């Protein structure tokens, strides 16, 4: 990640909240054959470690175990910005297209967890988090215990002890208030609500 200063975010509370809100991460592991990418839903432990699970047939837990430096990437909303959305363009024409986005990178050492109690606790927390918005949240106890037992034997847990957390929130911070608002409104009008609203929220929080 190129840490362009206007967009750099290094506050741990902001970065952790971002991961909580965008939990589907891309785990990057360097194997002898080259880099491999795995898309996994993560959840943060109380310690700050990132936890997930994979199928036993997934090779990542064998190849990455003990790696001192794996990378997990978490993406937020993004969107293309046309120069025509900047009011300043009408005055001096010194604007070019760009792309605004949000992302957090977490680096650390990966370890494997095969203990059934650890896995059950992980799945319970994942379920409680992602079922919270449902009218009738599903629980692990809703399924037959022998079925859950078989599922637990078919997965492996992974945990990343985070050693470095960095973020980039490219939300037009280098633009004037008028140009930022114009770009945000252009995004919203084109259907990219999430990134447009993120830009406006970031401006309000300054």
Return mean pLDDT, the chain: 91
Q: Is pLDDT above 70 for 6?
A: yes
Q: Is pLDDT above 70 for 3?
A: no
List CB contacts of 55: < 8 A, sequence separation 6 or more. Answer: 154, 155, 156
| Fold classification of 5-78+99-171 (topology level) | Pnp Oxidase; Chain A (2.30.110)
Q: How far is residue 28's CA from residue 38's CA, in Å, rounded to a whole number?
A: 7
pLDDT in tens, 158-191: 999 999 999 999 999 989 899 999 999 999 999 9
| Structure-token pair, residue 158 | 């992974």
Q: Please report the pLDDT score of residue 69 as a whole number.
A: 85
Q: Please report the pLDDT score of residue 66 as a whole number.
A: 64
pLDDT in tens, 63-99: 776 666 899 999 999 999 999 999 876 777 778 899 9
**Sign of the Cα pseudo-torsion (180, 181, 182, 188, in order):** positive
Does the predicted TM-score (pTM) go above 0.85? yes
Q: What is the mean pLDDT of residues 90-117?
A: 91
| Number of other residues whose CB lies within 10 A of the CB of residue 62 | 10
Q: Where are the domains of the chain?
A: 5-78+99-171
Q: How far is residue 58's CA from residue 116's CA, in Å, rounded to a whole number?
A: 18
Q: How far is residue 59's CA from residue 153's CA, in Å, rounded to a whole number?
A: 16
Q: Is pLDDT above 80 for 32?
A: no
Q: How far is residue 170's CA from residue 190's CA, in Å, rounded to a whole number?
A: 19
Q: Please report the pLDDT score of residue 206 as a whole number.
A: 65
95 with 88: CB under 8 angstroms? yes
Q: How far is residue 22's CA from residue 1's CA, in Å, rounded to a whole number?
A: 18
């Amino acid at each position: 990640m190129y840490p362009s200063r206007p967009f750099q975010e290094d506050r741990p509370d902001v970065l952790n909240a971002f991961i909580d809100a965008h939990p589907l991460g891309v785990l990057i592991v360097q194997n002898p054959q080259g880099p491999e990418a795995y898309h996994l839903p993560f959840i943060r432990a109380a310690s700050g470690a990132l936890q997930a699970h994979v199928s036993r047939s997934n090779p990542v837990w064998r190849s990455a175990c003990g790696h001192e430096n794996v990378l997990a990437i978490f993406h937020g909303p993004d969107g293309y910005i046309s120069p025509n959305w900047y009011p300043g363009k009408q005055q001096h024409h010194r604007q070019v297209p760009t792309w605004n986005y949000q992302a957090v990178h977490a680096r650390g050492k990966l370890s494997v967890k095969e203990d059934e109690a650890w896995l059950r606790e992980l799945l319970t927390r994942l379920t409680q988090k992602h079922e919270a918005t449902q009218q009738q949240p599903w629980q692990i106890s809703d399924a037959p215990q022998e079925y859950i037992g078989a599922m637990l034997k078919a997965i492996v847990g992974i945990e990343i002890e985070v050693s470095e957390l960095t973020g980039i929130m490219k939300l037009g911070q280098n633009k004037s208030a008028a140009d930022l608002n114009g770009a945000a409104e252009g995004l919203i009008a084109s259907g990219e609500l999430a990134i447009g609203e993120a830009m406006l929220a970031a401006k309000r929080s300054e």
